[in-house]
Structure 1
């Protein structure tokens, strides 16, 4: 099996993208794919460089068995477009920012995470930053569903 790399991207890389990073990392490990799948997350903005995931994201993720404590925020870089096989935006605004920065040769790598949802019907993973507990739980519901679909996608593309 050849390696496959995925980058999850939101605005500041402290809520949605580290949640997706942690959830997908756990699913990849559970499926025995960790040695073939490279996972990272980044933000379109450099608001929180080096910061851990938002405490609320960590709390809600940990309640479901996902540890985000080692993840640190960073901004997407030009080299990411070359490095990653799939760059997954959490919403329309971040998708547009990523597409605007992405070289034409790599545009096909840029998609929305929710395209991989199997049960949930949402075009985006909404930003929970100014929401209460329910916002973070909704993020996890969408991310878990999308990551299950993403596992199927990875298995289909990794040879």
Structure 2
């Protein structure tokens, strides 16, 4: 969900030629599978298409990545433990000025569709700050 939403925000800001947006999981769960139907439904609610997403796992292909956006503190820790410089890893909600002390986006997978709605709203709240950060880095 975050990949599709971030890519759209980058495109809308006119940065699509400068910034590549991709996603990967830190574990092998769902590698090669499409997005969860609840994710696709949430994206559809805001006019985006998530049907082409195919899950990938973090690996050597991520070596040239400038910034990793982790959804939760556990993912952030795993990326750092695998050798990613901690200065290149940020939490999605760290870009949301309204986020409370726990800056993680909780995984909605084992719950109902309301969890996916919550995640979409948390990502939406984080994207303006993320976009501002990216624009600052490009200057």
Q: Shorter-chain-normalised TM-score: which range?
A: over 0.9
Does 1:77 find its partner at 2:56?
no
Q: Which runs of 5+ in 1 are unaligned?
A: 1-18
> Normalised by the size of structure 2, how large is the TM-score?
0.92
Counterparts of 1:124 and 1:146 in 2: how far apart (Å)?
11
Are 1:114 and 2:93 an aligned pair? yes
3-state DSSP class of the match of 1:135?
Answer: helix
Equivalent pairs counted in the alignment come to 138
Note if 1:31 corresponds to 2:13: yes
Deviation at 1:78, TM superposition (A): 3.1
After superposition, the C-alpha distances for 1:72-93 in whole angstroms (9 at most, x for unaligned) are 101001341x311111111121
CA distance in 1, matches of 2:112, 2:99: 20
Higher relative contact order (CA 8 A, sep 6+): 1
Structure 2 equivalent of residue 144 of structure 1:
124
Residue 125 (structure 1) aligned with residue 111 (structure 2): no
TM superposition shift of 1:130: 1.2
Structure 2: state its 5+ residue gaps. none
Which structure dedicates a bigger proportion of its chain to strand? 1
Spell out structure 1 runs of 4+ moving beyond 4 A. Answer: none
Please say if residues 20 and 147 of structure 1, whose CA atoms lie closer than 8 Å, have aligned partners that are also in contact.
Answer: no
